[in-house]
Amino acid sequence: MTYQGVLTKMTTEFTEPIQYYLIFENDFIHINQLLDKTIQLEFVGYQCLSCGLNKPIYRQGFCKSCFFDIPQAADWIIKPELSKAHLNQEERDLEYEKRVQLQPHIVYLANSSNVKVGVTRKSQVPTRWIDQGAHEAIEIVEVPNRYLAGITEVALKDFVADKTNWRNMLKNDIEDENLVEWRNRLEVHIPEEAKPYYIANNTETNMVFPVHHYPIKPKSLNIIKSETYVGKLVGIKGQYLIFEDDTVFNIRSNEGLVVRLNIA
């Protein structure tokens, strides 16, 4: 079977284990069914997720000119504390910013290689955790807009990491943490404005990933440079495909690339 299309992050289904789907214009590929099969991956070109042109991807699946222009790539996406729609202030497109920022957001703790704090729209729970390859996560606050989530995250970063180690995540070099205890310890550091939104009574969510074999020394595949790669798929974790020879391919960081998949 051969499939060709532009990469966007895999869609997931929260079952045990997680189900992964790659969506191309004409095909819907259930990646779990490709486990233990040999896959050939070929780089074909680029297709910016905004303008659709065959231009090199700069960041987040967008070409450089789109990245510096469209509302979906503004700074407040990565730095939620810069959100201003709640003040009625425009960054790039106020209507878009209101739609995305003025909705329930969650500040959470997720453990993928270590415990980290993060922000996501409530509608993205547990998708966001799955995308990070977290095996456990818990909500800390549910706030009505992105700004409040952002300032909470910034305050908590002094006491908990905000980065993870993707190699440890993929190697499954992980420890189980009691996230309820972590949350209880962090409560006191939540900013005053967000304190009323603290969630005191929930439990951890646990994620199980479809991995038959974890890599010992994960090496990241640069498909643009190598143009083609062949390997046996042995796992999927976060947004990574894991192959038998320890090669790993991050679908999310390759968004906007047009690839061809040949399944033996």
Least Å from the CB of residue 75 to Zn ion: 18
Choice between 66 and 248, CB closer to Zn ion: 66
Choice between 46 and 166, CB closer to Zn ion: 46
What would you measure as the largest C-alpha separation in the chain, in angstroms? Answer: 57
Least Å from the CB of residue 57 to Zn ion: 9
For residue 21, give the H/E element and its range: strand 19-23
CB atoms within 10 A of CB 167: 15
CB 162 within 8 A of CB 117: yes
Choice between 12 and 47, CB closer to Zn ion: 47
Question: Under 8 Å CB-to-CB from 125, ≥6 apart: which residues?
Answer: 106, 108, 139
Choice between 73 and 151, CB closer to Zn ion: 73
Least Å from the CB of residue 252 to Zn ion: 18
Q: Is the dihedral of CA 99, 104, 108, 113 positive or negative?
A: negative
Alpha carbon dihedral 75, 78, 83, 89, in 10-degree steps, equals: 20
Least Å from the CB of residue 254 to Zn ion: 16
Least Å from the CB of residue 60 to Zn ion: 11
Choice between 46 and 197, CB closer to Zn ion: 46
Question: Under 8 Å CB-to-CB from 180, ≥6 apart: which residues?
Answer: 138, 203, 204
For residue 73, give the H/E element and its range: none
Contacting positions for Zn ion (CB under 5 A) = 48, 50-51, 63, 66
Choice between 51 and 154, CB closer to Zn ion: 51
Radius of gyration (C-alpha) of the chain in whole angstroms: 19
Least Å from the CB of residue 48 to Zn ion: 3
CA distance between the termini of the chain: 7
